[in-house]
Structure 1
Amino acid sequence: MRAAALARRMTELTKSGEGDLRALVGEFRRSEVLVPVVEGSLLTVATDDVRWLFAFTDMETLDRFAEQRPETVDEWVPVFGARLLDQVIPGIGGPVGVAVDAGGPTGLVLPPVPGVVPDAVAWEAVPGDAPGLGAAAGGAR
């Protein structure tokens, strides 16, 4: 599984507070991540106007997350990040971002903005409404 490189890059970003978000998105696209499944559907949650899909870099982080959920995470599927961003998210509809390693010490969100998700399903650019690629991940550069 290639997600180890993604996990290292996320740890570096967390420790330094600086990093190249475009390179991080590229690493996510090349990584095979674990996506939790509940009752036959990929686990997502809605917050305000955005739906978040969960993805994990390793089984340990996924297990810790699943223990904290009210529903039973009964399975997971390995999926390459590129497939999540380019095929799965457009199929869900509406703005959908990815929460990587949610609840973990190096968790990261990939917002549904141009440069992360396909433009056709990206968050509408409204000044002050949603972060752009350069501002996502807590100001990472």
Structure 2
Amino acid sequence: MSFLNDLLGGAQANSAGGSSLVAIAGQLIDKAGGVQGLVSMLQQHGLGDAVQSWVGSGTNQQVSGEQLGQALQNGGLGSVLQEAAGKLGVDQNQLIGQLSQVLPHAVDHLTPDGQVPEQGQGGFDLGSLASLAGKLLGGNKTA
């Protein structure tokens, strides 16, 4: 768990784009075209039910690192994962495993009303995820 804590802790100091899991989740959302783009892409690549649970108001359905990695790779975000793993000095599969725990919370956090924001409703702001690291470390949100 120290790997997760180290990366999440870095999000508070580097909320403007540091090499934390929350920042990487933000990069993935941004590169996918916002929350709507990421949700759509993950649905198209086999994670429809899980993603709907992240958006909805119920419990977030878990996905494995393998499932998430495959969906992100197939959705064209493999280069983001590769670059992030390189910056962090970790194995890409280890990074994806950790992201499979964080990304559901990020999508849930960015869809507080159970609705995916429409594309064009302002740009994605990494600052909107800044409080997420504290919530994840503090355990305020159940998965």
**TM-score normalised over the length of structure 1:** 0.31
More helix by share: 2
Identify the structure with the greater strand proportion.
1
